Amino acid sequence: MGRDRNLFRKEIPTILVTTPGRLLDHIREDTKLVKQRFCDCMRKTPIVVLDECDRLLVDFLPEIEKLGQFLPRKRQTLLFSATLPKRKLFKSIVGQNDEMVVVDCSDKQKQTVVGSEHR
């Protein structure tokens, strides 16, 4: 975490790629400057992307819900999954009152690349 702290002392990143647990480690960090910069970064994040969200929402749901407290209320959340979990899991991160659009790419008729089999 020392290297991450040094980077955050210099500037807030444009793109932050991390795991929920690692991000929470930084938020819990006792160094006020680093903690504040991570919180500032999260509060200003207009887009949140969760890849493999079916696994994240099952394995890391408490961490993701905690991270949601640091994110802006108005944001776009993109959830990607090869196996779509129950809608209620999506609602836990997107928000109960937020509009949700599901794009299903598993239909062979709707494949984006003709002749390519999606698995």
Question: Which of 1.10.150.20, 1.10.260.40, 3.40.50.300, 3.40.462.10 would CATH assign to domain 2-86?
Answer: 3.40.50.300
The Cα 11–Cα 30 span in angstroms is 19
- Indicate the pLDDT class of residue 107, thresholds 50, 70 and 90: low
Prediction pTM value: 0.61
Q: Could you state, in order of their start, the residue ranges of all structural domains in the chain? A: 2-86
Terminal alpha carbon distance of the chain: 36
pLDDT for residue 69 is more than 80: yes
Q: Is 108 exposed, middle or buried (0-12, 13-18, 19+ CB in 10 A)?
A: exposed
